[in-house]
Amino acid sequence: MSKPPELQHDLERSLPAIASISSSLSQSQGFSPYFLSPEKRKAISDVRRTFCLFVTFDLLFISLLWIIELNTKVGIKENLKDEIINYKFKTSFFDIFLLALFRFLVLLLGYAVLRLRHWWVIAVTTLVSSAFLIVKVILSELLTKGAFGYLLPIVSFVIAWLETWFLDFKVLTQEAEEERWFLAAQAAASRPLLYPRALSEGQFYSPPESFAGSDNESDEEGVGRKALTTQEKEYVRQGKEAMEVVDQILAQEENWKFEKNNDFGDVVYTFEIPFHGKTFILKAFLQCSPEMVYQEVILQPEKMILWNRTVAACQILQRVEDNTIVSYDVAAGAAGGVVSPRDFVNVRRIERRRDRYVSSGMSTTHSLKPPLSKYVRGENGPGGFIVLKCPSNAKVCTFIWILNTDLKGRLPRYLIHQSLAATMFEFAFHLRQRVAELCSKP
């Protein structure tokens, strides 16, 4: 069955925005080192290398303190002979140096040479160090030697526990998160492309140009369109409701309250919405065409994980009709891991207008994604992405992100607000990097 001429014309106009999806996927796979194949990634991560440097510092610092202690009136040679050859547990510092050497060799063997990704090695070194130092302080006569009798055991004890904290809360956590991004990117790359061939009736495509307040896109069953179920009509209604709220927020820009800005000129505002509460609004100016942002952010959300580190996963659960989809999204942790990853089920409505592209959405439910035990299920109020065209310059645009979310869980409100603003700035940073990379390609 052939399409009506008007629909065919609009569809053809929408194709340039999605025609480069196949090539953009291959380009984006080379964008970030986190998504390279394991054999092409760095042999050792930056955070693990920092940990190894800290372990080396541990040995060198304890050695320096021991040398200073040896360099007394009697001389280093006599003191070395006394502490090593005539070793006495109660009076010698030599065993504390050997303890630092033990930590150095075991930790570098485990985490630099073998590159283990478990905490058991450092658990052993910390347990041995703690037990030995406690016994040493209780039974020895080091405290009679003055300041160094206190300093060396305390420094050795503190550094051993700092190494444990750094590995457990920084190294292993960050590497696990990077591995999760890599696996998610692999999964996204292995999925079929959103538009693998010519579009046919019923497939989701960039919607025809629409006008604010128009209701005729989805209410009538067009030629070749299947009838919507009751649940699908509810998804369409939710999408339109979110779109109405987004339009109202945009119309009241003079009432937005300034919160923060950054060196790139990005600004975060807040706005109180009746029945929905505090809403965060990011406004950023981008040196690229609005169509590029429309494609990267709105048309292909599943591929966003390839360049956006604030998103851990995105999956299209259902394409309801031309303008409406239901998606499953997982937001990466924030605030240094204090805010754990959250997952959301959202309904999205997409509209193309003469002066802008709009993707509005809000939380919904779907049978394919009930709440999971490994994530806290968040809830999004009305919000979305807006890409404003510049009337005088087709190569620049203004990007707006409206975010109204309840992260659930027992988190202080001030911490939530700080993490949301930081997440929005990070999103803008990755988006700016992404469009800069695309613009640099011929």
Q: Could you give the dihedral angle defined by the CA atoms of residues 313, 396, 19 and 9, in that order, rounded to the nearest 10 degrees?
A: 120
323: left (phi > 0), else alpha (psi -120 to 50), else beta? alpha
Question: Sorting pLDDT into bands at 50, 70 and 90, what band is 158?
Answer: very high
CA distance 414 to 431: 26
pLDDT tens digit sequence for 168-220 = 888 888 787 677 656 655 555 454 443 333 333 333 345 545 544 444 444 44
CA distance 410 to 408: 7
The length of the chain in residues reads: 442
Give the percent of the chain with pLDDT over 70: 75
Between 13-17, 333-337, 374-378, the lowest mean confidence (pLDDT) is in: 13-17
The 8-class DSSP code of residue 334 comes to B
pLDDT at 91: 83
Mean pLDDT confidence for 415-421? 76
pLDDT at 5: 46
| Cβ-contact 202, 226 below 8 angstroms | yes
Q: Which of 3-17, 21-35, 424-438 shows the highest mean pLDDT?
A: 424-438
Between 145-149, 196-200, 357-361, 367-371, the lowest mean confidence (pLDDT) is in: 196-200
Mean pLDDT confidence for 392-397? 92
Q: What tokens appear for 404 in the block?
A: 């109204």
Other C-beta atoms closer than 10 Å to the C-beta of 327 total 21
CA distance 170 to 119: 12
Residue 8 pLDDT > 80: no
What predicted TM-score, i.e. pTM, was given to this entire model?
0.55
β-pair partners for 400: 283, 386
Block residue for tokens 């040479």: 113
